[in-house]
């Protein structure tokens, strides 16, 4: 039976979020995966010549079959499959860019295990929002999937990813450092220990899980906050490293077991790399501009495609360009030098580079990590999400708040504070007269409502988040 990609995708109900196509596991049938694969590859064939397509997956229980379905579709097109098994998304993307071939990552990133997703990369990097529309509108015919192929795993992408970073630093850089790796179900959990050990560190593996754990680096749970403090004390750790499910968002803790905000980690990484110009989402901490360490900062909508879209214009004016998100994912937009050694651009979220650059900066400056953080302008962000919050309700609340921000503030209990600016680049970002920021945004990947609060002290940020969430819960 012949199927049409556009019809299958529409019927599936799967949608593109801030990065990749996301949906419930039951929506990602073999034919839905095949439809996306056919639509993606046929939509770029006029722009690129390739005979091979790479695939990798995360540790979700639904991911292997989805990867097989994508592989079957690739074979239907007469193309060869390079299968790298379970590796981080940036490892797959990096290897594919070096081979000048497209790739597909089967992952739902940090969202719950009952959901999954697909990320698509052209030979030159992440697809754009325009590419997403081309995929959704493609009318490619393909034969319905009736069987799934057996795939053989290659370790090429994993090895090259490790080499990309270990080659930049002295093999004794981390000698004497005790580093804990919170493994859970991260796609890169088998790569990180060899990577840090190759640089001289003593590695302690922490809490590997046979079940998928949806770690969200933007909304770290209280349980994980306490775990880090306990681990740091019990094992006398200098650093804790972890990631989200597909290994493109870092989660790192300092010597005290305090998790760093992703945008603060990105700031410190960019500074250590002497980056001239940055593109960052509007949700990132204003310490980025306040530290005055960069020649230019552009604010974008939330999502790596928007950050990447700014790189071309920045590269016309600056030699070194990068971006990062509030979730910590670091995007290197230009080839640059680290310790006098060349590192190639990788314009997709990556978790390892910011972690290693932070450790390198601490070693070079002979200062603890918490000291590097405290030297920045003290702007504190506190963020969280309400899960299983109907998207329609989120949109309605946001629409009302945008129409009358002052009235919204009054409803949550902040009616006596003047508003300085209102930014609707992505959601609603209100800057108050005292410098505090309230940013509301429905998730683009799941039925969740996110709130980011920035203030001069963490208690104020936490209190304002409670006011917002109390209001939202009453209107759920």
Q: Mean pLDDT check: name the lowest of 29-43, 91-105, 434-448.
A: 434-448
472 pLDDT band (50/70/90 cuts)? confident
* Residue-range definition of the domain harbouring residue 147: 2-155
Q: Based on the domain organization, do 417 and 307 belong to the same domain?
A: no
Q: Please state the domain count of the chain.
A: 3
174-224 pLDDT, tens digit per residue, is: 999 999 999 999 999 999 999 999 999 999 999 999 998 888 888 788 899
Average pLDDT rounded to a whole number, residues 318-322: 97
Contacts of 428 (CB under 8 A, 6+ apart): 398, 401, 402, 405, 422, 439, 440, 441
99 pLDDT band (50/70/90 cuts)? very high
Q: Based on the domain organization, do 238 and 270 belong to the same domain?
A: yes
Q: Based on the domain organization, do 366 and 411 belong to the same domain?
A: no
Q: Based on the domain organization, do 84 and 233 belong to the same domain?
A: no
What is the reported pLDDT for 404? Answer: 94
240-290 pLDDT, tens digit per residue, is: 999 999 999 999 999 999 999 999 999 999 999 999 999 999 999 999 999
Q: Based on the domain organization, do 236 and 354 belong to the same domain?
A: yes
Q: Based on the domain organization, do 361 and 384 belong to the same domain?
A: no
**Cα 392 from Cα 408, distance rounded (Å):** 18
Q: How does the average pLDDT of the chain come out, rounded?
A: 94
Average pLDDT rounded to a whole number, residues 446-475: 89
Q: Based on the domain organization, do 197 and 326 belong to the same domain?
A: yes
**Cα 254 from Cα 177, distance rounded (Å):** 12
Contacts of 203 (CB under 8 A, 6+ apart): 179, 180, 181, 192, 193, 196, 197
Q: Based on the domain organization, do 51 and 73 belong to the same domain?
A: yes
CATH number at residue 298: 3.40.120.10
150 pLDDT band (50/70/90 cuts)? very high
Q: Based on the domain organization, do 132 and 176 belong to the same domain?
A: no
Domain-located, residue 160: no
Domain-located, residue 162: no
What is the reported pLDDT for 127? Answer: 94
Q: What is the pTM of this model?
A: 0.91
**Cα 210 from Cα 403, distance rounded (Å):** 47
Catalytic positions, written as ranges: 109
| pLDDT at residue 35 is higher than 80 | yes
113 pLDDT band (50/70/90 cuts)? confident
CATH number at residue 443: 3.30.310.50
444 pLDDT band (50/70/90 cuts)? low
Show contacts of 143-146: CB within 8 Å, 24+ apart. 143/1, 143/2, 143/3, 143/76, 144/1, 144/2, 144/3, 144/31, 145/30, 145/31, 145/33, 145/34, 145/69, 145/72, 145/73
């Amino acid at each position: 039976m012949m199927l049409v990609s556009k019809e299958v995708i529409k019927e599936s109900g799967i949608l593109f979020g801030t990065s990749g196509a996301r949906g419930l596991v039951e929506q990602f049938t073999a034919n839905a995966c095949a439809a996306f694969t056919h639509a993606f590859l046929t939509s770029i064939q006029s722009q690129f010549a390739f005979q091979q397509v790479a695939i990798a997956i995360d540790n979700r229980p639904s991911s292997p079959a989805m990867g097989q379905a994508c592989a079957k579709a690739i074979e239907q097109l007469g193309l060869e499959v390079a299968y790298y098994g379970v590796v981080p998304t940036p490892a797959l993307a990096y290897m594919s860019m070096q081979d000048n071939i497209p790739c597909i990552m089967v992952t739902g990133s940090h969202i719950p295990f009952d959901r999954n997703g697909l990320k698509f990369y052209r030979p030159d990097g992440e697809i754009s929002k325009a590419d997403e529309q081309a995929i959704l509108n493609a009318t490619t015919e393909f034969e319905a999937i009736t069987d799934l192929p057996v795939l053989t795993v290659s370790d090429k992408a994993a090895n090259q990813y490790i080499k990309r970073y270990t080659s930049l630093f002295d093999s004794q850089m981390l000698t004497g450092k005790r580093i804990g790796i919170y493994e859970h179900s991260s796609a890169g959990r088998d790569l990180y220990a060899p990577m840090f050990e190759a640089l001289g560190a003593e590695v302690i593996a922490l809490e590997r899980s046979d079940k998928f754990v949806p770690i969200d680096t933007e909304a770290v749970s209280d349980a994980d906050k306490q775990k880090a403090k306990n681990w740091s004390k019990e094992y006398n750790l200098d650093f804790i490293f972890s990631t989200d499910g597909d290994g493109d968002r870092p989660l790192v803790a300092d010597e005290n077991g305090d998790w760093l905000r992703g945008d603060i980690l990105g700031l410190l990484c960019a500074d250590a790399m002497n980056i001239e110009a940055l593109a960052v989402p509007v949700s990132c901490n204003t310490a980025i501009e306040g530290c005055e360490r960069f020649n230019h900062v552009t604010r974008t909508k939330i999502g790596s495609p928007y950050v990447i879209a700014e790189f071309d214009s920045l590269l016309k004016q600056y030699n070194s360009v990068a971006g990062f998100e509030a979730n910590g994912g670091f995007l290197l937009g230009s080839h640059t030098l680290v310790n006098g050694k060349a590192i190639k651009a990788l314009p997709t979220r990556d978790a390892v580079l910011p972690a290693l650059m932070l450790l390198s900066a601490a070693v070079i400056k002979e200062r603890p990590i918490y000291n590097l953080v405290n030297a920045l302008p003290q702007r504190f962000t506190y963020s969280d999400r309400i899960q299983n919050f109907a998207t329609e309700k989120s949109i309605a609340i946001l629409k009302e708040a945008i129409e009358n921000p002052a009235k919204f503030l009054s409803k949550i209990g902040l009616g006596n504070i003047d508003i300085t600016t209102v930014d609707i680049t992505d959601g609603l970002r209100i800057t108050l007269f005292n410098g505090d920021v309230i940013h509301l945004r429905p998730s683009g990947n799941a039925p969740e409502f996110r709130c980011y609060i920035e203030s001069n002290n963490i208690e104020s940020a936490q209190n304002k988040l409670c006011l917002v969430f109390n209001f939202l819960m009453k209107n759920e």
